[in-house]
Amino acid sequence: MNRSDIEMEIRTTLAQLTDQDTSGIPVDRDLGDALGLDSLGKLELLAEVEDRFDLLFDDVDMTQAKTIDGFIEIAERNLAHAETEAG
């Protein structure tokens, strides 16, 4: 899965959770500011992303989950780690 696919999945998940259009949100914009996403909303997003990508995020990941780009980086890192362990 490439970066664009991951971004699309995250934007789709965000749109479903918030009932808002996420297509125009810059990847580096704070999700709290852009969508009014609070800590609980970010945790819900993390849980949804974990389910979609079959991953398990750690506490460090949770602190970085503030922007779309942050979620992309977390997913990429975890996917790469999973591939290394499987390989």
Inter-residue long-range contacts of 50-59, CB under 8 Å, 24+ positions, other chains counted: 52/9, 52/13, 53/1, 53/6, 53/9, 53/78, 53/79, 55/79, 55/82
Measured over the CA atoms of residue 81, residue 43, residue 62 and residue 31, the dihedral's sign is positive
Enumerate domains of the chain plus CATH numbers: 3-17+25-86 (1.10.1200.10)
pLDDT in tens, 20-77: 999 999 999 998 899 888 878 878 888 888 888 887 777 777 777 889 998 898 888 8
pLDDT on residue 21: 94
| Residue 85 reports pLDDT greater than 80 | no
pLDDT on residue 87: 63
pLDDT on residue 27: 96
